[in-house]
Amino acid sequence: MEQITRADIAAFKGGDAAMANALIEDSGVRVHSERMRGRGAGVNPSGRYETISRHVFDDGWDSIEELPPFKTEVQVEKPRQIITRNDSPDISFDRSINPYRGCEHGCVYCFARPTHAYMGLSPGLDFESKLFAKPDAAKLLERELGKEGYQPKTIAIGTNTDPYQPIEKEYRIMREVLEVLETHNHPVGIVTKSALVTRDVDILSRMAAKGLAKVALSVTTLDRRLARTMEPRAATPSRRLETIRTLTEAGIPTSVMIGPVIPGLNDAEIERILESAMQAGAKEAGYVILRLPLEVSPIFKDWLLRHYPDRFRHVMSLVRSMRGGKDYDAEFGKRMRGAGPYAWQIGRRFEIAAKRLGLNTERRRLRTDLFHSPRSGAEQLILL
């Protein structure tokens, strides 16, 4: 590992010693570039609940053992339930499913990174290399749908970690979950950055024909270089646009999500992304401003220093201008869209572009009246 020195950061930042010191305290140790090849984060700090923090450093005796590159490891998780409930006023759904914990896509800005601390792991490189799969998800889902008094509402999937990340090719958990939802006519909304969603176009098209499914593709940039460094294992921008076209042609309502909008980095692309998505067939669009809760802030800032050092000061200044002078403000009503003049400007640009392109003229609402509980068949057998 290579320690980030004050001299290094001060050089990156034009001699801003105060911020250099603060960044060192946050980030601690940067992982050697060969070990993090193909990954988003460049640091692997201890989780915030750990009682000790370990750091590897060179003591001058050439005694550091060469460590191998981070490889993806998957553990099986056995949760007691699979549907997660929320009452947040900032989002349009009250329930969601996460087939996986952690995400191999490695998006450096991912707001879900801090959840890995609950597992005693780092929100940095551990989040994208030490993953947890929930192979019993479909069985748990059927059981929960069959509970007495269950009232159907759209289940959101992909709002925390991507259900179509690379390990889904092997585990096929998302496919099994969709099979359960289709069997019982339960509505589902999916968000993904992966072209793998087209594998399930057969199920999704049948559900969409009944008004039970819709998909949103997250497209943060059309710049391949930026996407490669910022979202190293997600589909390329062109593949995501192709996926929108494929889903739309199959009759599946598809939208585009610009998430996140990063001021000074990808905000200039808002109009081009919306136009490209519309041409591919998207009918709806949305956006979210960059969120940097807890450990995400130092991870993102380290990434920004490594890849775009000349923009560091400008980007963080704009971020703080939308967050009351802080890296992040978790207040409901502000955390998704920010506040202040720059956030207002982004919102108006998005609205004007969406209106000009004919996006969001009609919001697709999914049906719940077709749902039939897994209990129905069992009740009939009891009567017989």
Above 90 in pLDDT, residue 344?
Answer: yes
What's the token pair of residue 80?
A: 């007691």
- Answer yes or no: is pLDDT of 17 > 50: no
CA–CA gap between residue 232 and residue 213 (Å, rounded): 28
Confidence of residue 339 (pLDDT cuts 50, 70, 90): very high
Domain 2-364 has CATH 3.80.30.30: yes
User: What pTM was estimated for this model as a whole?
Assistant: 0.89
Q: How many helices (H) and strands (E) does the chain have?
A: 14, 12
Q: Which of 60, 57, 61 is nearest to 31 (CA)?
A: 57
> Across residues 134-141, what is the average pLDDT?
98
Mean per-residue pLDDT of the chain: 89
**Element of type H or E holding 157:** strand 155-157
Give the model confidence (pLDDT) of 102-128 as tens digits. 999 999 999 999 999 999 999 999 999
Q: Is the pLDDT of residue 297 over 80?
A: yes
Q: Which of 39-53, 180-194, 274-288 has the lowest mean pLDDT?
A: 39-53
Q: What is the pLDDT of residue 11?
A: 46
pLDDT at 52: 82
38-69 residue pLDDT tens: 899 999 988 888 888 776 666 666 555 566 77
Would strands 100-101 and 213-218 be described as parallel, antiparallel, or unpaired? Answer: unpaired
